[in-house]
Amino acid sequence: MFVAALSWSAPSHALFEDSEARRAILELRQRMDSLGQASQRAGERSGDEVSQLRRSLLDLQTQIEALRTEQAMLRGQNEQLQREVAELQRRQKDIAQGVDERLRQFEPVKVSLDGREFQADPAEKRDFEAALAVFRSGRFAEAGTAFSAFIKQYPQSGYQPSALFWLGNAQYATRDYKEAINNFKALLAAAPSHARAPEAALSIANCQIELKDTRAARKTLEDLVRTYPNSEAATAAKERLARLK
Protein backbone atom coordinates (compact mmCIF):
# COMPACT_ATOMS: atom_id res chain seq x y z
CA MET A 1 0.00 0.00 0.00
CA PHE A 2 2.84 2.27 0.66
CA VAL A 3 4.05 1.63 -2.80
CA ALA A 4 0.64 2.27 -4.17
CA ALA A 5 0.47 5.55 -2.32
CA LEU A 6 3.75 6.59 -3.69
CA SER A 7 2.69 5.68 -7.16
CA TRP A 8 -0.31 8.02 -6.94
CA SER A 9 1.35 10.89 -5.29
CA ALA A 10 3.50 11.87 -8.23
CA PRO A 11 0.71 12.31 -10.74
CA SER A 12 -1.29 14.34 -8.26
CA HIS A 13 1.58 16.73 -7.69
CA ALA A 14 2.22 17.04 -11.42
CA LEU A 15 -1.41 17.75 -12.09
CA PHE A 16 -1.36 20.52 -9.54
CA GLU A 17 1.67 22.14 -11.09
CA ASP A 18 0.20 21.99 -14.61
CA SER A 19 -2.98 23.72 -13.46
CA GLU A 20 -1.02 26.50 -11.81
CA ALA A 21 1.10 26.92 -14.89
CA ARG A 22 -1.91 27.07 -17.08
CA ARG A 23 -3.46 29.73 -14.88
CA ALA A 24 -0.25 31.67 -14.94
CA ILE A 25 -0.08 31.35 -18.69
CA LEU A 26 -3.71 32.39 -19.03
CA GLU A 27 -3.16 35.35 -16.73
CA LEU A 28 -0.06 36.28 -18.70
CA ARG A 29 -1.98 35.98 -21.91
CA GLN A 30 -4.79 38.11 -20.47
CA ARG A 31 -2.28 40.68 -19.36
CA MET A 32 -0.65 40.61 -22.77
CA ASP A 33 -4.03 40.89 -24.43
CA SER A 34 -4.93 43.73 -22.13
CA LEU A 35 -1.65 45.43 -22.85
CA GLY A 36 -2.13 44.86 -26.56
CA GLN A 37 -5.65 46.25 -26.43
CA ALA A 38 -4.46 49.20 -24.39
CA SER A 39 -1.61 49.75 -26.80
CA GLN A 40 -4.02 49.48 -29.71
CA ARG A 41 -6.41 51.88 -28.08
CA ALA A 42 -3.51 54.18 -27.38
CA GLY A 43 -2.40 53.85 -30.97
CA GLU A 44 -5.92 54.54 -32.16
CA ARG A 45 -6.14 57.54 -29.88
CA SER A 46 -2.74 58.72 -31.10
CA GLY A 47 -3.86 58.25 -34.69
CA ASP A 48 -7.06 60.15 -34.00
CA GLU A 49 -5.12 62.95 -32.40
CA VAL A 50 -2.72 63.08 -35.33
CA SER A 51 -5.66 63.13 -37.76
CA GLN A 52 -7.34 65.84 -35.73
CA LEU A 53 -4.13 67.81 -35.63
CA ARG A 54 -3.74 67.45 -39.37
CA ARG A 55 -7.31 68.61 -39.91
CA SER A 56 -6.69 71.56 -37.60
CA LEU A 57 -3.53 72.47 -39.47
CA LEU A 58 -5.37 72.18 -42.79
CA ASP A 59 -8.18 74.38 -41.47
CA LEU A 60 -5.63 76.88 -40.19
CA GLN A 61 -3.86 76.93 -43.53
CA THR A 62 -7.18 77.41 -45.29
CA GLN A 63 -7.99 80.32 -42.97
CA ILE A 64 -4.54 81.82 -43.56
CA GLU A 65 -5.03 81.60 -47.32
CA ALA A 66 -8.48 83.14 -46.96
CA LEU A 67 -7.02 85.96 -44.88
CA ARG A 68 -4.29 86.51 -47.45
CA THR A 69 -6.89 86.65 -50.20
CA GLU A 70 -9.01 89.06 -48.17
CA GLN A 71 -5.94 91.15 -47.38
CA ALA A 72 -5.01 91.32 -51.06
CA MET A 73 -8.58 92.29 -51.90
CA LEU A 74 -8.59 94.97 -49.19
CA ARG A 75 -5.24 96.24 -50.42
CA GLY A 76 -6.65 96.49 -53.92
CA GLN A 77 -9.74 98.27 -52.60
CA ASN A 78 -7.52 100.62 -50.60
CA GLU A 79 -5.45 101.43 -53.66
CA GLN A 80 -8.63 102.02 -55.65
CA LEU A 81 -9.95 104.29 -52.90
CA GLN A 82 -6.67 106.19 -52.87
CA ARG A 83 -6.93 106.69 -56.63
CA GLU A 84 -10.54 107.82 -56.29
CA VAL A 85 -9.62 110.21 -53.47
CA ALA A 86 -6.76 111.62 -55.55
CA GLU A 87 -9.10 112.05 -58.52
CA LEU A 88 -11.72 113.68 -56.29
CA GLN A 89 -9.11 116.06 -54.87
CA ARG A 90 -7.98 116.94 -58.39
CA ARG A 91 -11.56 117.62 -59.46
CA GLN A 92 -12.19 119.71 -56.35
CA LYS A 93 -9.05 121.70 -57.13
CA ASP A 94 -10.20 122.23 -60.73
CA ILE A 95 -13.64 123.25 -59.53
CA ALA A 96 -12.14 125.65 -56.98
CA GLN A 97 -9.92 127.18 -59.66
CA GLY A 98 -12.92 127.47 -61.99
CA VAL A 99 -14.96 129.15 -59.26
CA ASP A 100 -12.10 131.54 -58.55
CA GLU A 101 -11.84 132.38 -62.23
CA ARG A 102 -15.59 132.96 -62.48
CA LEU A 103 -15.52 135.10 -59.36
CA ARG A 104 -12.67 137.12 -60.79
CA GLN A 105 -14.85 137.77 -63.82
CA PHE A 106 -17.21 139.67 -61.53
CA GLU A 107 -14.65 141.36 -59.33
CA PRO A 108 -14.20 145.09 -60.04
CA VAL A 109 -10.99 146.04 -61.79
CA LYS A 110 -9.04 149.24 -61.57
CA VAL A 111 -9.38 151.43 -64.66
CA SER A 112 -7.32 154.45 -65.66
CA LEU A 113 -8.94 156.48 -68.44
CA ASP A 114 -8.73 160.11 -69.52
CA GLY A 115 -6.75 161.05 -66.42
CA ARG A 116 -9.18 159.37 -64.03
CA GLU A 117 -8.96 156.16 -62.01
CA PHE A 118 -12.03 154.23 -60.95
CA GLN A 119 -13.34 150.73 -60.33
CA ALA A 120 -15.38 148.97 -62.99
CA ASP A 121 -16.93 145.56 -63.44
CA PRO A 122 -15.17 143.38 -66.02
CA ALA A 123 -18.33 143.27 -68.15
CA GLU A 124 -18.60 147.06 -67.97
CA LYS A 125 -14.99 147.46 -69.08
CA ARG A 126 -15.49 144.94 -71.88
CA ASP A 127 -18.62 146.68 -73.20
CA PHE A 128 -16.99 150.12 -73.23
CA GLU A 129 -13.90 148.89 -75.02
CA ALA A 130 -16.05 147.03 -77.54
CA ALA A 131 -18.05 150.19 -78.34
CA LEU A 132 -14.83 152.21 -78.66
CA ALA A 133 -13.39 149.60 -81.02
CA VAL A 134 -16.48 149.95 -83.22
CA PHE A 135 -16.03 153.74 -83.29
CA ARG A 136 -12.36 153.47 -84.22
CA SER A 137 -13.22 151.09 -87.04
CA GLY A 138 -15.24 153.92 -88.63
CA ARG A 139 -18.67 152.36 -88.08
CA PHE A 140 -20.06 155.48 -86.44
CA ALA A 141 -23.75 154.61 -86.52
CA GLU A 142 -23.07 151.27 -84.81
CA ALA A 143 -20.77 153.00 -82.34
CA GLY A 144 -23.52 155.50 -81.47
CA THR A 145 -25.91 152.64 -80.79
CA ALA A 146 -23.30 150.82 -78.68
CA PHE A 147 -22.47 153.88 -76.55
CA SER A 148 -26.15 154.74 -76.06
CA ALA A 149 -26.79 151.22 -74.80
CA PHE A 150 -23.74 151.44 -72.55
CA ILE A 151 -24.89 154.71 -70.93
CA LYS A 152 -28.33 153.25 -70.22
CA GLN A 153 -26.95 150.00 -68.84
CA TYR A 154 -24.29 151.60 -66.61
CA PRO A 155 -25.71 154.95 -65.47
CA GLN A 156 -23.31 155.21 -62.48
CA SER A 157 -20.24 154.05 -64.35
CA GLY A 158 -16.91 155.84 -64.16
CA TYR A 159 -16.91 155.49 -67.95
CA GLN A 160 -19.94 157.79 -68.27
CA PRO A 161 -18.10 161.06 -69.20
CA SER A 162 -15.92 159.28 -71.77
CA ALA A 163 -18.93 157.36 -73.12
CA LEU A 164 -20.84 160.66 -73.57
CA PHE A 165 -17.84 162.15 -75.35
CA TRP A 166 -17.54 159.29 -77.85
CA LEU A 167 -21.29 159.10 -78.31
CA GLY A 168 -21.31 162.79 -79.22
CA ASN A 169 -18.46 162.26 -81.68
CA ALA A 170 -20.27 159.30 -83.27
CA GLN A 171 -23.38 161.47 -83.68
CA TYR A 172 -21.32 164.34 -85.09
CA ALA A 173 -19.84 161.90 -87.63
CA THR A 174 -23.36 160.86 -88.69
CA ARG A 175 -24.44 164.55 -88.79
CA ASP A 176 -26.83 164.18 -85.88
CA TYR A 177 -25.62 167.55 -84.56
CA LYS A 178 -28.44 168.34 -82.16
CA GLU A 179 -28.09 165.02 -80.29
CA ALA A 180 -24.34 165.42 -80.33
CA ILE A 181 -24.68 168.85 -78.66
CA ASN A 182 -26.97 167.37 -76.01
CA ASN A 183 -24.45 164.64 -75.10
CA PHE A 184 -21.46 167.00 -75.08
CA LYS A 185 -23.38 169.33 -72.77
CA ALA A 186 -24.29 166.35 -70.54
CA LEU A 187 -20.57 165.60 -70.20
CA LEU A 188 -19.77 169.22 -69.25
CA ALA A 189 -22.59 169.27 -66.70
CA ALA A 190 -21.61 165.96 -65.10
CA ALA A 191 -17.82 166.34 -65.17
CA PRO A 192 -16.66 169.90 -66.04
CA SER A 193 -13.10 169.09 -64.95
CA HIS A 194 -12.89 165.96 -67.08
CA ALA A 195 -9.91 165.70 -69.44
CA ARG A 196 -12.32 165.53 -72.40
CA ALA A 197 -14.36 168.58 -71.29
CA PRO A 198 -12.43 171.18 -73.37
CA GLU A 199 -12.76 168.98 -76.48
CA ALA A 200 -16.46 168.52 -75.76
CA ALA A 201 -16.95 172.30 -75.61
CA LEU A 202 -15.08 172.73 -78.91
CA SER A 203 -17.22 169.98 -80.45
CA ILE A 204 -20.37 171.81 -79.36
CA ALA A 205 -19.16 174.89 -81.22
CA ASN A 206 -18.39 172.79 -84.30
CA CYS A 207 -21.92 171.36 -84.24
CA GLN A 208 -23.37 174.86 -83.92
CA ILE A 209 -21.30 176.02 -86.86
CA GLU A 210 -22.64 173.08 -88.91
CA LEU A 211 -26.15 174.13 -87.89
CA LYS A 212 -25.35 177.69 -89.06
CA ASP A 213 -25.86 179.01 -85.53
CA THR A 214 -22.87 181.37 -85.59
CA ARG A 215 -23.91 183.44 -82.57
CA ALA A 216 -24.21 180.33 -80.37
CA ALA A 217 -20.92 179.00 -81.73
CA ARG A 218 -19.11 182.27 -80.92
CA LYS A 219 -20.40 182.26 -77.35
CA THR A 220 -19.42 178.61 -76.88
CA LEU A 221 -15.89 179.31 -78.13
CA GLU A 222 -15.50 182.37 -75.89
CA ASP A 223 -16.67 180.37 -72.86
CA LEU A 224 -14.21 177.64 -73.79
CA VAL A 225 -11.26 180.04 -73.93
CA ARG A 226 -12.26 181.57 -70.61
CA THR A 227 -12.94 178.25 -68.80
CA TYR A 228 -10.05 176.20 -70.19
CA PRO A 229 -7.45 178.79 -71.18
CA ASN A 230 -4.45 176.46 -71.15
CA SER A 231 -5.98 173.64 -73.14
CA GLU A 232 -5.26 172.76 -76.77
CA ALA A 233 -8.98 173.15 -77.39
CA ALA A 234 -8.73 176.79 -76.26
CA THR A 235 -6.01 177.41 -78.87
CA ALA A 236 -8.23 175.92 -81.58
CA ALA A 237 -11.17 177.95 -80.27
CA LYS A 238 -9.22 181.22 -80.70
CA GLU A 239 -8.49 180.33 -84.30
CA ARG A 240 -12.15 179.60 -85.01
CA LEU A 241 -13.20 182.85 -83.34
CA ALA A 242 -10.84 184.71 -85.64
CA ARG A 243 -12.41 183.10 -88.68
CA LEU A 244 -15.95 183.75 -87.44
CA LYS A 245 -15.25 187.49 -87.31
pLDDT tens-digit readout, 180-223: 999 999 999 999 999 999 999 999 999 999 999 999 999 999 99
Bridge partners (DSSP) listed for residue 120: 109
pTM passes above 0.95:
no
**Inter-residue contact 156 to 118 (CB < 8 Å):** no
Q: What is the pLDDT of residue 194?
A: 97
Between 128 and 51, name the one with better pLDDT: 128
Listed ranges 51-60, 95-104, 108-117; the one with the highest mean pLDDT: 108-117
Q: What is the mean pLDDT of residues 115-131?
A: 96
Instruction: Select from 197, 203, 207 the least CA-distant residue to 227.
Output: 197
Q: Cβ–Cβ contacts within 10 Å for residue 145, how many?
A: 15
Summarised one tens digit per residue, pLDDT across range 48-82 is 777 787 787 777 778 888 888 888 888 888 888 88
**Side-chain half-sphere exposure of 60, counting CA atoms within 13 A:** 6
Angle between the 122-136 and 160-173 helix axes, to the nearest 10 degrees?
20
